[in-house]
Structure 1
């Protein structure tokens, strides 16, 4: 085989490999985005995750049964996530008294990074670690931040993609206060 033919063969092989890689990437990306998030009115997927700033694990369907629950997916590398955390902390004591729990599900790689963020920002609401992304996947979350407001009966009242303002957060928390506390 001549040098010219070898070069042409190598070039075609490279182009074919790049095209094949692009097709595989497009298919995988499309599959991931087509997976729907948990919809309003759906039963919230149960989970059990270890707390980073507390003792033991939180089991959604057992420990928080009968409460309104905000499940917030976040990470320390997500700037909009970090912007809404002070709002959650500000409202947490008041809504905890009303029977609403805030659970922040961190997707960070290490607990040390999460603990440093908690300590720096004096966060007191439960923060759990979804180190394998299984809870994120169960909820169909692919962009951060994402919040799910869950009624005391375990159904999703609403899902919110993107950062929350203080006013919006307070309105959504009001929607999930147990009837006995209103």
Structure 2
């Protein structure tokens, strides 16, 4: 009986590793403190393009990856809003990059939770992949010099 159980467990383990490998485009979890934060351009909810780091050069930036189905994202995004309100006059920038949802879904969620920092659209999750995001929420802290200073996976 034990040998019969080992085969399905081994198969499931192999399939899990295969699935994780297929999702890795070479960048997953490889951005570390001290690395230059990858550049990207994304549309804001208002339709204006946001070019990172060009539009925020010389400012510390919090980059928040999220989705409306993420159970921890709402409370944390509201907590980030409070921090941003206290520190934005000193130059802190926050951008919330939605991972893979439509403009309508993003707009409804942002309107419901009441955050006012920029929400960016990443409908095909290209920026999320570029940053190696494998779990939501994921938050990057980028220094004024454009280098990653920290990363938090999950809550």
- TM, length-normalised to structure 2: 0.83
Q: Is the 8 A contact 2:28 2:134 kept in 1?
A: no
The residue number in structure 2 matching 1:175 is none
**Number of corresponding residues:** 144
Flag the structure with larger Rg: 1
Mapped to 2, the partners of 1:108 and 1:36 lie a distance apart of: 18
Unaligned segments of structure 1, at least 5 residues: 1-18, 164-182
Matches within 5 A, 1:90-109: 90-109=82-101
Deviations 1:36-76 (A, max 9, x none): 33111100000100001x35011012100001000000000
Are residues 160 and 25 of structure 1, via their aligned partners in 2, closer, same or farther at CA, if it must alter by over 3 Å?
closer
| 2:29 aligned residue | 36
Of the three residues 54, 57, 76, the one matched with 2:49 is 57
- Structure 2: unaligned runs, 5 residues or longer: 1-9
Deviations 1:111-131 (A, max 9, x none): 111111111122110000111
- State the structure with bigger RCO (CA 8 A, min sep 6), 1 or 2: 2
Scaled by the length of structure 1, the TM-score of the pair is 0.72
- Tell me the SS of whatever aligns to 2:30: coil
Q: CA RMSD in A?
A: 2.2
Q: Which has the higher helix share?
A: 1
Task: Give the conservation status (yes or no) of the 8 Å contact 1:37–1:141.
Answer: no
| Residues 67, 101 of structure 2: 8 Å contact kept | no
SS at the partner of 1:116? Answer: helix
